[in-house]
Amino acid sequence: MAQILHIDSSPRGDRSFSRKFSHEFLAAWKNAHPDDTVTYRDLGRNPVPHVDESWIAAAFTPPDSRTPELNQAISVSDSLVDEFVAADRYVLGVPMYNLNIPSTLKAYIDQIVRVGKTFVVSPEGAYQGLVTGKKMLIVTARGGSFTPGSPTAAWDFQEPYLRAIFGFLGITDIDFIHVENLSGGDAARADSLANTEEAIAHKIASW
């Protein structure tokens, strides 16, 4: 039995394709794996706080030296880190905003990237992720296409960033399903949606 953390980051409701397909994947997965449990976090509608000065002070103060105010400042982050570390697998729905990720997801990532909790630094200055042995599936929604080798591939700061930051934490088994060309006209969109349905069916069988 696996514990899955499902995170959506789009503020849109029924019109969100990243939300639609992340839910579709989880529904099919639960049907095939009924004993797995899912924790759901909707960052698009319930965003987490941004890091501020009090958060930074708390994060770099030993727990037994924190004031009540500093404990309060870091409490949301502590809860998010515990939830993140407890999961075995992750499913993320992530729209592309201006070639990258929504600010809601960036705020969440800033809350869970914590030295001593999700990564450590060796005396020699080497970084080591502590969140290892996990799997992640990221469903993106994009107006255009950023296929490797295409003229627009260099504009994709979404997948490289997500691979890098979660890899930094130790999660290297990451798969992507890109729902692309959503602004490319009816035919392009229909092809993309059909390809996404096929990709989800394949991933259910192989994830």
pLDDT above 70 as % of the chain: 100
pLDDT tens-digit map of 41-93? 999 999 999 999 999 999 999 999 999 999 999 999 999 999 999 999 999 99
With a CB cutoff of 8 Å and minimum separation 6, the contacts of 7 are 40, 41, 42, 43, 90, 91, 92, 93, 105, 108
pLDDT tens-digit map of 93-118? 999 999 999 999 999 999 999 999 99
pLDDT at 14: 87
pLDDT classification of 23: cutoffs 50, 70, 90: very high
Q: Indicate the pairing of strand 135-141 with strand 119-121.
A: unpaired
CA distances from 89 to 2, 3, 26, 86, 102 (A): 7, 6, 11, 9, 21
Please list the helix, strand and coil fractions of the chain in percent, rounded to the nearest 5, in that order: 45, 20, 35
**Cut 0.85: pTM above it:** yes
pLDDT classification of 207: cutoffs 50, 70, 90: very high
Distance from C-alpha of 164 to C-alpha of 160, rounded to nearest angstrom: 6
Q: Which domains, ranges and CATH numbers included, belong to the chain?
A: 3-206 (3.40.50.360)
Summarize the confidence of residues 150-163 as an average pLDDT.
96
Distance from C-alpha of 180 to C-alpha of 144, rounded to nearest angstrom: 6
Q: Is 21 exposed, middle or buried (0-12, 13-18, 19+ CB in 10 A)?
A: buried
C-alpha dihedral sign at 80, 90, 139, 166: positive
pLDDT above 90 as % of the chain: 96
